[in-house]
Structure 1
Amino acid sequence: MLKTISLFSGIGGLDFGFEAAGFETRVTLELDKHACRAMRLNRPSWEVIEGDINTVPSTLILEKANLERGEADILIGGPPCQPFSKAGYWAKGDSLRLDDPRADTLTGYLRVLRDTQPRAFLLENVHGLAYQGKDEGLRYILDGIDQINRDTGSNYRVSWRVIKCAEYGVPQTRERVFLVGSRDGLQFQFPAPTHGKFMAGQQDLLSELEPFRTAWDAIGDLGDPPCEEQGLTIGGKWADLLPSIPEGENYLWHTSRGGGLPLFGWRTRYWSFLLKLSKNLPSWTIQAQPGSSIGPFHWDNRRLSFKELCRLQTFPDGLALECGRTEVQRMLGNAVPSLVAEVLAREIRSQFFRAPLQGPLKLLPPKRKAVPSTAECQTVPAKYFDLLGDHADHPGTGKGRLAVKMGA
């Protein structure tokens, strides 16, 4: 078994994928107590360190993993995105800043990489890390790894890419950036996409791409959620409007450019406002902290159950949680789809360790047939009729009320 050190492990999204590819999680480090409890419940064999990376020494991580420096096969983790505004904590070329007690989570990851010297590493983050012209976080990581190479004599060579998860079989349109490196200077080649978007009946027979996996592929075999699961009923001001919106649509249905009633202005709300899943499409990104009217919602006009959220994140079946709905949504919304981790872990095995795996992916949802037809929409309740009118469209990027107010 290839040995893994996991940082910022959350509920285990990356780890489940590496597990499916034959890696053994020796130790995890996570600050959130609910996530730690979930890992202990679902994977008792994992050694879980509950704490802040900036207060946990690398020596303890190695000790709990029962590893010496240089023995771990891979270090994985997804530092939260907030630290990138604090990149100045580590001055370029000053390796001592990696030990600064004020150091952020990103610096913590680099510090553990430097101290443990794994044969390879994978770092995951939000795709905004690599926005053109706003890539300070990405440059911070790359400069930090260059400094580690100079300080330790290692030869970590980094490849990075923004990955659209749906293009690898995940039934969700989530984008993440991944950085992968080898201590021996091997250049990682990201795998080519395996899935693509095709209109009904228009798939190119010569194409090697499969159609995107859909929400129905992921959760179509699941029955109604158990009655004891709390928090699935939608509340708030807009709850009774959701049944009037078709599958795969959002509030834009009820604008002058949609097929419903003109209740809102075009693009004057968040995209995920009253957003409903379509059986024939991948899910939209699962939100970590949605409001009462923020989807995606189930096509049965309710919130998604714990089991459905796990399926859309391509987690292995059989997981359990002992916490409330808010914590469930937050942990699953912040997680990485495990199938993407499995795909990358297989490539890392093959390219860095010369140990390719045969057989199908374990976490890829099956392609289900006989998709049910969409349900008919209900009429708009009369209590929303006072919203009928000629609503102005959003004026454009940077011209909305909030943007104008902030620029004043």
Structure 2
Amino acid sequence: MQIVESKAKSKHGTPTVLSLFTCGMGMDLGFEKAGFEIVYTNDIAKFACETIRANRPKILCDEGDIIEIPTNEILKKIGLRDNKIDVIIGGPPCQSFSTAGMRNGFSDKRGIALLEFIRIVKETRPKIFIFENVAGLKSMPKKHVSFYERLKQKKKKLSKEQQYGSLFEEILERFESIEGYKVDWDILNAADFGVAQKRKRLILIGSRKFSPTKTLEEIKNNAVFADPKIANKVGKRKWKNLRQALKGLEDKEKECTRFPKWGKYLKHVPPGGCWVDLPKSMQKKAMGGAADTTDPLRKGKQGGRRGFFRRLSWDEPSPTLVTSPTQMGTCLCHPNENRPLTVKEYARLQDFPDNWNFVGSTHQKYRMIGEAIPVKLAEAIASVTYDHLRR
């Protein structure tokens, strides 16, 4: 079989990117903006692949489970030999490691997805790979023990698998075992890079060419925004707020889901508020047992759970967008209207272009956007990566 050089590589001389677990293309758009050429995308979800094809019809989209796609088949499709790919990006799902009552870990299909990411890195030998995931991955235990169980077992020593951070420790070991790569990681807040959203992501970089530690340091040093409490002191601009982000957005359709019956309480919550701002007479009805302060395990903790019945503020960045704005514990209600954020508002807060065509049901659109890395954060990572590749 004859494998020819990628047309994109030979014609434009641009660095190539192989994208895994692509979803709505948030990471990909950031890399495109920084000057990279996306030569391959993959996702198991039909609606994600239809979205990729609708917006980037010339980019190869391989629909299916990456577990069933051999590496040599990927290389054949894109016309590249191994060692010729510049960057691999992706955020494989890791939920399987922290499922209550069980520990399927790497034997679970979602855990195997991480191993497949590592498999493709090993077999294609890119100059750089970038793995991204939720910041909470850093502290996840391999074996889930609920908060209340931990309190009850305070004096009992937890097993290594039950300790916070045990999952990421193993993931890091697996990445560090890839021969020829230096690996480092950090937690980046999208708000520091001009995204109107307090969204922290774990970014892990592996490189054959240069120090990933210096790359991460340079990315952080390039951040020009900061928490308003310290922005002036550190000579940076204040975080962008919701009002600034949604200014001028044309959204005639206002496509969104509806809140369940509990949404009736939201009309009593002020902008920037949550369940603690409900009249006292309503709090227990709205929250049920979660507001029970007589429970000794909840004593002094009634001010928590700030995601419940949450209404956003115009004057602050949005909290982290999740895969649905209508979950009671991670509620994302519009500042003035008694509705969740629309699909277009969601997309704007993740810095997708206003004309980006998300294909699928409303729930599927929320999921694609909520799972994405914000485009501006991806661009910040990609820009430094591009500079280092060119040195």
TM range (shorter): 0.7 to 0.9
Distance in 2 separating the partners of 1:298 and 1:29 = 33
What is the CA-CA distance between 1:250 and the residue it aligns to? Answer: 1.2
Q: Please show how residues 36-51 of structure 1 align to structure 2 within 5 Å.
A: 36-51=49-64
Q: Is the 8 A contact 2:95 2:110 kept in 1?
A: no
Q: Is the 8 A contact 1:16 1:316 kept in 2?
A: no
What is the CA-CA distance between 1:197 and the residue it aligns to? Answer: 1.7
Distance in 2 separating the partners of 1:268 and 1:69 = 54
* Alignment gaps of 5+ in structure 2: 1-13, 98-102, 141-162, 292-300
- Where does residue 307 of structure 2 map in the other structure? 272
Correspondence 1:286 to 2:321: yes
**Local SS of the residue matching 1:148:** coil
Q: Please show how residues 300-311 of structure 1 align to structure 2 within 5 Å.
A: 300-311=337-348
* Alignment gaps of 5+ in structure 1: 91-100, 150-154, 355-408
Q: Describe the superposition over 1:363-400 as per-residue Cα deviations: whole angstroms up to 9, x where unpaired.
A: xxxxxxxxxxxxxxxxxxxxxxxxxxxxxxxxxxxxxx
Q: Describe the superposition over 1:30-89 as per-residue Cα deviations: whole angstroms up to 9, x where unpaired.
A: 101110110100111210001111111111211222211010110000001224454555
- Where does residue 252 of structure 2 map in the other structure? 226
Correspondence 1:123 to 2:131: yes
TM-score, structure 1 as length reference = 0.74
Correspondence 1:22 to 2:48: no
Distance in 1 separating the partners of 2:323 and 2:37 = 27
Q: Please show how residues 33-182 of structure 1 align to structure 2 within 5 Å.
A: 33-84=46-97, 85-87=103-105, 104-131=112-139, 133-149=163-179, 155-182=180-207
- Where does residue 236 of structure 1 map in the other structure? 260
Aligned residues: 330
What is the CA-CA distance between 1:291 and the residue it aligns to? Answer: 3.8
What is the CA-CA distance between 1:185 and the residue it aligns to? Answer: 4.8
Change (3 A) 1:292 1:350: closer
Q: Please show how residues 364-383 of structure 1 align to structure 2 within 5 Å.
A: none
1:298 aligned residue (330, 334, 341):
334
Question: Which structure: greater helix fraction?
Answer: 2
Change (3 A) 1:242 1:35: same
- Where does residue 241 of structure 2 map in the other structure? 214
What is the CA-CA distance between 1:145 and the residue it aligns to? Answer: 3.1
- Where does residue 347 of structure 1 map in the other structure? 384
Q: Is the 8 A contact 2:274 2:311 kept in 1?
A: yes
**Local SS of the residue matching 2:69:** coil
Q: Is the 8 A contact 1:127 1:177 kept in 2?
A: yes
Q: Describe the superposition over 1:296-327 as per-residue Cα deviations: whole angstroms up to 9, x where unpaired.
A: 11122222222211111111231012322111
TM-score, structure 2 as length reference = 0.77
What is the CA-CA distance between 1:290 and the residue it aligns to? Answer: 4.4
Moved more, 25-34 or 315-324: 315-324
**Local SS of the residue matching 2:76:** helix
Q: Once superposed, which parts of structure 1, at least 4 consecutive aligned residues long, lie more than 3 Å away?
A: 83-90, 229-232, 260-270, 289-294
Distance in 2 separating the partners of 1:239 and 1:187 = 46
Change (3 A) 1:222 1:61: same
Q: Structure 2 counterpart of 1:184, which letter?
A: K
2:273 aligned residue (244, 249, 262):
249
Moved more, 206-215 or 245-254: 206-215
- Where does residue 157 of structure 2 map in the other structure? none
Change (3 A) 1:272 1:119: same
Q: Structure 2 counterpart of 1:216, which letter?
A: R
Change (3 A) 1:214 1:29: same
Distance in 1 separating the partners of 2:129 and 2:202 = 14
What is the CA-CA distance between 1:218 and the residue it aligns to? Answer: 1.2
Q: Structure 1 counterpart of 2:136, which letter?
A: G
Change (3 A) 1:267 1:64: farther
- Where does residue 368 of structure 1 map in the other structure? none
**Local SS of the residue matching 2:245:** helix
Q: Structure 2 counterpart of 1:273, which letter?
A: F
Q: Is the 8 A contact 1:160 1:179 kept in 2?
A: yes
| Residue identity (%) | 30
